[in-house]
Amino acid sequence: MDVLSDILDVLRLRGTLYFRTSFSPPFAVAVPHLGQAARFHIAAQGGCHVRVAGEHDVILNSGDMILIPNGREHVLCDEIDTKPAALEDVLAQSGYSGEGVLVHGGTALPNADTKLICGHFTFADGADHPLLRALPDFLLVTAEMRASAPLLDELLRLIIRQMFAQTPGTQASVIRLSEVLFIEVIRCCAAVDTNIGSIISAMADTPIGTALGLLHHNPEKRWSLDTLARGVGMSRSRFAHRFQNVIGCAPMSYLSNLRLQRAMNLLTDTTTPVQVVASQVGYQSPAAFSRAFSDRYGCSPRQIRHA
């Protein structure tokens, strides 16, 4: 099966909140932390500095895109020493209502302002996976990288055209394009980031990719380290070592996390009884399921259901 697609489906990847900006020097906007989200900015015209988590100063040139995982706070500015204003203050002062263009900064000069397309991706409550943990503080897609990734390049062009056209259905179109964009950014950056590359390569690795497919296709099955190793034609010890080395966690730990994330989705998205959810994700005992769920999320399945 397509393991990456299933991973993102389990994590509930969703694109949301898209708007355009017109920033004129001097400008600096402090974007606050946002949990369970990955923010991005595409430079459609001009450029700016992006200071991520107070540590990294990234220059975003026209045509570049930056993805900032884990909702990290960051600053968008014309110069690195420009004093930033809080995003909520910028929104209030500009009178931005959520539609049109967010205007901020000094006196605008013809064709001299910085036009960004901004948005973010959200994930399910408690979403966790080695792929998410492998993401660095930021991922930068440059014009050079776009030249070697035609699909990614075309997606960025389409999103920019859609956002500037503002025709009926723009929001729905951009949301769907951006979810594909997230996948293509991950694929593109796998070539330059060893941690991401290791996870993506594991999905194409014959024994490990097969094992991931087995777990994602039938997480409710009574898997053990022995049955998984036999399923991919490896010894127990070699399989456990290889899985840990390329994925970053033990096979049974991966399975437990997968089951509990699926359970969270069922509890929040359906009315399936808790005991049935427990069985559907592979727990023989509702009590064991409740204990594992509470340890993972800090509340019981019934509390999630009532909430």
pLDDT band at 39 (very low <50, low <70, confident <90, very high): very high
Least confident of 93-107, 122-136, 206-220, 264-278: 93-107
Average pLDDT over residues 95-118: 81
Residue 112 has pLDDT above 70, yes or no: no
Beta bridge mates, 120: 16, 39
Instruction: Give the span between the Cα atoms of 48 and 31, in whole angstroms.
Output: 14
Beta bridge mates, 102: 21
> Residue 53's pLDDT is what?
87
Beta bridge mates, 114: 23
Which has the closest alpha carbon to 146: 135, 133, 160, 130?
A: 160
Angle at 56 between CA 50 and CA 57, to 5 degrees: 45
Instruction: For residue 34, report the phi and psi dihedrals to the nearest 5 degrees.
Output: -140, 110
CB atoms within 10 A of CB 303: 13
Q: What is the pTM of this model?
A: 0.89
> Residue 239's pLDDT is what?
96
Token representation of residue 194? 């060893």
Residue 110 has pLDDT above 60, yes or no: no
> Residue 204's pLDDT is what?
87
Chain mean pLDDT for the chain = 92
Segment 293-306, tens digit of pLDDT? 999 999 999 999 88
Residue 291 has pLDDT above 80, yes or no: yes
Residue 64 has pLDDT above 80, yes or no: yes
> Residue 111's pLDDT is what?
62
Q: Which residue would you say has higher pLDDT here, 129 or 17?
A: 129
CATH class of the region 3-198: mainly beta
> Residue 182's pLDDT is what?
94
Which has the closest alpha carbon to 57: 36, 77, 33?
A: 77
Least confident of 1-10, 252-261, 266-275: 1-10
> Residue 285's pLDDT is what?
93
pLDDT band at 1 (very low <50, low <70, confident <90, very high): low
Query: Are residues 115 and 44 in contact, defined by beta-carbon separation less than 8 angstroms?
Result: yes
Please state the domain extents for the chain.
3-198, 205-306
Average pLDDT over residues 70-82: 93
Residue 307 has pLDDT above 60, yes or no: yes
> Residue 2's pLDDT is what?
86
Average pLDDT over residues 163-185: 87
Structural fold of domain 205-306: Arc Repressor Mutant, subunit A (1.10.10)
Segment 182-214, tens digit of pLDDT? 999 999 999 899 999 999 999 888 899 999 999
Per-residue CA distances from 151 to 5, 148, 157, 181, 283 (Å): 17, 9, 10, 9, 41
Residue 108 has pLDDT above 70, yes or no: no
Segment 206-234, tens digit of pLDDT? 899 999 999 999 999 999 999 999 999 99
Instruction: For residue 10, report the phi and psi dihedrals to the nearest 5 degrees.
Output: -65, -40
> Residue 164's pLDDT is what?
87
Strands 74-77 and 65-68: unpaired
Query: Are residues 251 and 243 in contact, defined by beta-carbon separation less than 8 angstroms?
Result: yes
